[in-house]
């Protein structure tokens, strides 16, 4: 079995296991853990389109979670719109916000882009806190409780998030193999050269930003209905942005399945720290822990887990001798001695001509 077939078989088996798990297990804790993992994986995959393919690292992606969550919550609480329809509206709002943010940051690169996206996250948090008449401010916003039977458990949240994750990865795969993906990789390699060749880099970056923000916004709307209560500090959280970036870097930035793998590795650790760390300094300790983990990944695993493991496996496969059970082992050819160098031709001494001496006549 080739590597591609083996990878497809593993992915198909994993999707089947995740789809069947709620039907065979009633463990609500594991269902909640998987729901939060799906949410992180969607955020990491959406971030990867801009941060992985184009090379623009953003620390403001949790702003899209907050926008999608508050759009869904406001429509559900004020206008009595179904949260499942409100999350789609949240995705549209996030797409518009991503387009505006892309216009604002079109001339920023590197650390300046990181700073602007972080400032946008903080600004939206301040606006949500100040506009208390619409968002509830620091008191929060309560959403309508689900009305379905408790026998369904978390299925109405589990399966939409799983389907959204599959859709996000599928769109990321299409982008990666399309002309848009080639343009984004060219921007990551050398944006000035790509622009010099006629590539409209601003348009490409805007499309990538809109794709990532839309899926994260829809996931934020589903998360709002799942928790049924919104707090500004919880959804516009820098720790969530750090987790999204860390999941993509840990799994493999710029790869298709790396952000998903990183989310499935990181979310159980985040859940453990949330339940295990208590006290007034728990938030600061978590931020310090994940910040240190982010620095360790950048220093010691710059390519991520998935590319590192794939590269090591390729080296193992390349170093393994081929199996030829039916062909006889041929003997080694004899080792020939090295060719002898010709000696330099010695210069013959010049002979002097002597006049023959004739004897005297008798």
User: What pLDDT score was predicted for residue 353?
Assistant: 56
- φ, ψ at 141 (rounded to 5°): -135, 125
Q: Read off the pLDDT of residues 128-152 as tens digits, 9 standing for 90 and up.
A: 999 888 888 888 888 888 888 777 7
Largest CA distance in the chain: 154
Rounded to two decimals, the pTM is 0.82
Buried residues in 126-140 as b, exposed as e (16+ CB within 10 A): eebbeeeeebbeeee
- Which of the residue ranges 133-142, 221-230, 293-302 would you say has the lowest mean pLDDT? 293-302
**What is the Cα–Cα distance from 172 to 89, expressed in whole angstroms?**
21
pLDDT-derived band of residue 324, with 50, 70 and 90 as boundaries? very low
Closest residue by Cα to residue 230 from 63, 66, 13: 66
User: What pLDDT score was predicted for residue 226?
Assistant: 92
- In the chain, the percentage of residues whose pLDDT exceeds 90 is 44
Can you give the C-alpha Rg of the chain in angstroms? 32
User: What pLDDT score was predicted for residue 356?
Assistant: 56
Q: Read off the pLDDT of residues 37-56 as tens digits, 9 standing for 90 and up.
A: 999 999 999 999 999 999 89
The winner for highest mean pLDDT among 36-40, 152-156, 337-341 is 36-40
User: What pLDDT score was predicted for residue 248?
Assistant: 92
pLDDT-derived band of residue 334, with 50, 70 and 90 as boundaries? low
- Over the chain, what is the mean pLDDT? 84
Segment 183-208 shows an average pLDDT of 91
Question: What DSSP assignment string belongs to 302-343?
Answer: TT-HHHHHHHHHHHHHHHSPPP-SSSPPPPPPPPPPPPPPPP
> What is the enclosing helix (H) or strand (E) of 141?
strand 141-142
**235 in Cβ contact with 61 (< 8 Å):** no
User: What pLDDT score was predicted for residue 118?
Assistant: 93
Question: What DSSP assignment string belongs to 55-75?
Answer: ----S-THHHHHHHHHHHHHH
Looking only at the bridges linking them, the beta strands covering 229-230 and 141-142 are antiparallel
CA torsion through residues 133, 141, 43, 285, sign: positive
In the 8-state DSSP scheme, what is residue 228? S
User: What pLDDT score was predicted for residue 157?
Assistant: 92
pLDDT-derived band of residue 271, with 50, 70 and 90 as boundaries? confident
- In the chain, the percentage of residues whose pLDDT exceeds 70 is 85
pLDDT-derived band of residue 342, with 50, 70 and 90 as boundaries? low
């Amino acid at each position: 079995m080739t590597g591609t077939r083996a990878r497809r078989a593993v992915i198909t088996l994993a999707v089947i296991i995740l789809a069947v798990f709620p039907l065979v297990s009633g463990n609500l804790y594991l269902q909640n853990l998987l729901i939060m993992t799906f949410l992180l994986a969607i955020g990491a995959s959406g971030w990867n389109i801009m941060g992985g393919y184009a090379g623009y690292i953003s620390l403001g992606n949790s702003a899209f979670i907050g926008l999608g969550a508050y759009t869904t919550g406001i429509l559900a609480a004020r206008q009595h719109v179904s949260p499942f329809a409100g999350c789609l509206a949240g995705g549209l709002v996030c797409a518009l916000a991503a387009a505006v943010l892309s216009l604002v940051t079109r001339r920023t690169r590197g650390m300046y882009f990181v700073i602007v996206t972080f400032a946008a996250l903080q600004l939206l948090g301040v606006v949500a806190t100040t506009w208390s008449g619409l968002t509830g401010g620091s008191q929060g916003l309560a959403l309508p409780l689900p009305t379905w039977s408790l026998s369904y458990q978390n299925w109405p949240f589990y399966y939409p998030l799983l389907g959204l994750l599959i859709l996000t990865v599928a769109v990321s795969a299409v982008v990666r193999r399309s002309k848009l993906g080639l343009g984004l990789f060219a921007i990551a390699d050398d944006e000035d050269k790509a622009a010099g060749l006629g590539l409209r880099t601003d348009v490409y970056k805007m499309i990538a930003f809109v794709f990532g923000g839309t899926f994260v916004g829809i996931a934020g709307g589903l998360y709002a209905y799942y928790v049924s209560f919104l707090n500004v500090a919880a959804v516009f959280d820098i720790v969530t942005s750090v987790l999204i970036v860390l999941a993509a870097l840990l799994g493999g930035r710029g790869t298709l399945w790396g952000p998903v793998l990183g989310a499935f590795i990181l979310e159980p650790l985040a859940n453990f720290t949330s339940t295990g760390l208590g006290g007034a300094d728990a938030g600061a300790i978590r931020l310090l822990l994940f910040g240190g983990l982010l620095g360790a990944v950048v220093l010691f695993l710059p390519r991520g887990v998935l590319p590192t493991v794939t590269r090591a496996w390729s080296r193992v496969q390349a170093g393994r001798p081929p199996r030829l059970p039916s062909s006889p082992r041929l003997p080694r050819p004899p080792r020939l001695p090295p060719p002898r160098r010709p000696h330099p031709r010695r210069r013959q001494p010049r002979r002097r001509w002597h006049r023959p001496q004739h004897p005297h006549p008798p």
